[in-house]
Amino acid sequence: MTFQGFAFDNTFARELEGFYAPSEAAGFKAPALVKLNRPLAEELGLDPDALAEAGPALFSGNTPPAGATPIAQAYAGHQFGGFSPRLGDGRALLLGEIVDPQGGRRDLQLKGSGPTPFSRGGDGKAALGPVLREYLIGEAMHALGVPTTRALAAVTTGEPVFRDTALPGAVLTRVAASHIRVGTFEFFASRHDHGPVRKLADYTIRRHYPASAKAENPYFDLLVAVGKAQTSLVARWMQIGFIHGVMNTDNVTVSGETIDYGPCAFMDAFDPATVFSSIDRRGRYAYGNQPGIVMWNLARFAETLLPLLADAPKAAIALAEEALGILSEHYEQSSLEGMRRKIGLQKAEGGDGELIEALLGMMESAEADFTSTFRGLAKVLRGASADEALQLNPEELAAWMPRWRARLDREGAPADAIATAMDGVNPIYIPRNHRTEEALEAAVQDGDMRPFDALLEAVTQPYEERPSLADYASPAPPEFGPYKTFCGT
């Protein structure tokens, strides 16, 4: 079957004039399809075989699909704390919105398709390594149940991109609930242009939070709704040892989806100070700082909404502060709830936070692997020796174990059932940094996609132990050394 096209309905382009610049893809000589996300295609109601056939021309941007309105979106952003009033899609093109069979609306965006009016001297392009990295980690996050943008396809362009060296060029096709960011609000708010901010807020409510329209103060409700989505998201990141690496406000979606997998990575040994990104020299976006940073980013979002919250500035500030208080509390709740489940607790008791903190303290002092420790706890419940299943200090462990066991007794469930529930929330397979690097290197240097596909297979069923995949469950060997990541530019 040939590709029938997308049923586009481009509300952003239609309703938000002034929030974008029309643009087009650069056009590439020899595009080739490297990956097509068949399960996602099916979820979107698209025929994967037809997409594969149309793929090179379609996903490189060479042939824009019928009904597309290619635009580059405008946004600003606080980057590492400093404000940039004009960023925007410098290397991305929103083709349009598709409505899936369940009625969900998703943006279809090309990333790396060439310069736009927002490129600021950049080439607008992307290299194959970062494109595949975003594909892989997005799919892993999705399988882990973490809200995320997803890759529908990756193509190589047949042309090099020049970074430190020449690298194979590529384009990622990304699907997202939307690409509206905190930075999109900041773009207009920083110019004190309140009309467009209201327009964008109303659009966001219609598209993402329709219940807010009925609230007494819809904009207060929007702030709380976005904030809850974002704080829940960061709580999920913390529970899987994920470090985003570049939590600038232009990378914070109002939908609550994880976006922009540039320098992100997963932590092996538990240490809240872990930073992988080479440009994050002061550790602003370290693992343990992420909860504070999401609140900082939400404060920037609240500032953009001040004129909408109330007429009197004082009243508006009071409402913003009230919302931030609610959100800070929401983070704590969401974090505690998730961590409880990681140690097998469904019920809530007052001392649970302390019990969890004590475990994390032991993990930190022993430099224990974050992911394996939680799987190890379930093994102990199934009868394994704690000293063997857990790489923790035996004396500290001997003090902690009886506290945990006594707490589990009050759950009133058989140990086996608790262990099974724990394995359902504690992944065994995450994209380990050394595995990710190995997969990207094979793809980029040798055009060999087998390691990538094998890793993708492991991390897209992250909770189900498969003996043949034992190698994917271990942390990096010592010779892998300290890990550094780079922004995917």
Minimum CB separation from Mg ion for residue 181, in Å?
A: 8
The 10 Å CB-count burial string (b at 16+, else e) for 238-269 is bbbbbbbbbbbbbbbbbbbbbbbbbbbbbbbb
Q: What is the phi-psi region of residue 67: left when phi exceeds 0, alpha when psi lies from -120 to 50, beta otherwise?
A: left
Contact 231/256 with Cβ under 8 angstroms? no
The least CB distance from residue 105 to ligand AMP, in Å, is: 23
Say how many C-beta atoms besides its own lie within 10 A of residue 102's C-beta: 8
Q: Rule CB under 6 A: choose which of 124, 256, 376, 475 binds ligand AMP.
A: 124
Catalytic residues: 250
Evaluate whether 209 touches 226 at the Cβ level (below 8 Å). Answer: yes
H or E stretch covering 437: helix 433-446
122 binds, among ligand AMP, Mg ion, none (CB under 5 to 8 A by kind): ligand AMP
CB of 90 vs ligand AMP, minimal distance in Å: 2
Q: What is the rounded distance in angstroms from the CA atom of residue 487 to the CA atom of residue 484? A: 10
Among 33, 51, 74, 87, binds ligand AMP (CB under 6 A): 87
Least distance from Mg ion to the Cβ atom of residue 250, Å = 5
**Which residue in the set 12, 35, 68, 91 belongs to the binding site for ligand AMP (CB under 6 A)?**
91
Choose the binding region for ligand AMP from 116-124, 264-272, 289-297, 460-468 (rule: CB under 6 A). 116-124
d(CA 370, CA 352): 19
Closest C-alpha among 196, 143, 153, 169 to residue 27: 169
- Residue 90 near ligand AMP by CB under 6 A: yes
Q: Does 489 participate in binding ligand AMP (rule CB under 6 A)?
A: yes
Q: Which stretch binds ligand AMP (CB under 6 A): 88-96, 278-286, 307-315, 473-481?
A: 88-96
Total residues contacting ligand AMP (rule CB under 6 A)? 16
Q: What's the Cα-to-Cα distance from 188 to each of 34, 151, 183, 305, 321, rounded to whole Å?
A: 38, 29, 9, 11, 22
Which CB sits closer to Mg ion, 78 or 407?
78
Residue 221 interacting entry, from ligand AMP, Mg ion, none, C-beta within 5 to 8 Å by type: none
Q: What is the largest CA-CA distance in the chain?
A: 66
Residue in 23, 156, 251, 290 binding Mg ion, rule: CB under 5 A:
251
277 touches Mg ion (CB under 5 A): no
Q: Give the total of residues touching Mg ion (CB under 5 A).
A: 2
Pairing of strands 82-84, 126-127: unpaired
| Interface of this chain with ligand AMP, residues 251 to 280, rule: CB under 6 A | 251, 260, 262
Residue 260 contacts Mg ion per CB under 5 A: yes
Residue with the two structure tokens 């271990």: 474
Residue placing its CB nearer to ligand AMP in the complex, 91 or 375: 91
* Token duo for residue 46: 């698209």
List residues binding ligand AMP (CB under 6 A): 87-91, 119, 122-125, 246, 251, 260, 262, 487, 489
List residues binding Mg ion (CB under 5 A): 251, 260
